[in-house]
Amino acid sequence: MALAEAGARGRLLRWPRVLLFGDSITEYSFQENGWGAYLAERLVRKCDVVNRGISGYNTRWAKLILPRLITESTGADSIAAVTIFFGANDSALKELNPKQHVPLEEYAANLKSMVQYLKSVDITADKIILITPPPLQESAWEKACLAKGDKLNRCNATTGQYAQACVQVAKECGTDVLDLWSLMQKNQDFSSYLSDGLHLSAKGNSFVAAQLWSRLEHKLSALPSLLPYWRDVDHTNPEASLL
């Protein structure tokens, strides 16, 4: 059978998508042992896990980008889940990092705006997970800042205010939330979760992966594996199994 004829007979194969939208903590999540890579491995043949992490970005910029990533016409109906993971940059101290800083009230409004946009293109609240920024280990992050010739430009207490705002938005919008800021600090010494005081270490990636999977598993467990297991393909008539 010619390829063109096979394509005409078969239905277009469309994998559902899990969209990871966030800043550098999301962008780096596809690195070795990253939390995004873990999800992609768990969901292979069920979902495409799409990394749309953009290092350095805040919610002010993110809300402008989101409608360019998902529209009704580009397959919002194929979205199985969306994570929105911002706040580490928004919570930067205004006087020391005005470019990335977003005021607390605006941060909350931006998150709410993004959730409302997703709902407007028929992505229901049960498919959306907000993720708070992780806690900040100030002494380690100060070393990273000093190495670049900067002063310490974030503090953990401020990051916590943004995390609380994220949790509140999730409650108001009816979405799930992963409160990393609180969960990681249940272990009194949370520094092992962070590589430089801000970004995740291997242990931090494992922690996020486990926490996020516990929220995604029940949403995605019913999705079938796409295409039959190879032993189930009729080798005498593969068209019957594959088209």
Catalytic residue numbers read 24, 196, 199
Radius of gyration of the chain (CA): 20
Integer Cα distance of 194 and 139 in angstroms? 12
| Among the listed residues 14, 10, 4, 5, the one whose alpha carbon sits nearest the alpha carbon of residue 240 | 10
Question: How far apart, in whole angstroms, are the C-alpha atoms of residue 150 and residue 8?
Answer: 59
Q: Degrees (nearest 5) of the Cα angle 216, 217, 218?
A: 95
Question: Rounded to an integer, what distance in angstroms lies between the CA atom of residue 119 and that of residue 127?
Answer: 10
Burial classification of residue 51, based on how many CB atoms lie within 10 Å of its CB (0-12 exposed, 13-18 middle, 19 or more buried): buried
Q: Are strands 79-85 and 48-53 parallel, antiparallel or unpaired?
A: unpaired
- Per-residue CA distances from 41 to 14, 49, 122, 128 (Å): 18, 9, 27, 20
Dihedral of CA atoms 103, 34, 32, 37 in degrees, nearest 10, equals -120
The CA distance from 139 to 91, in Å, is: 17
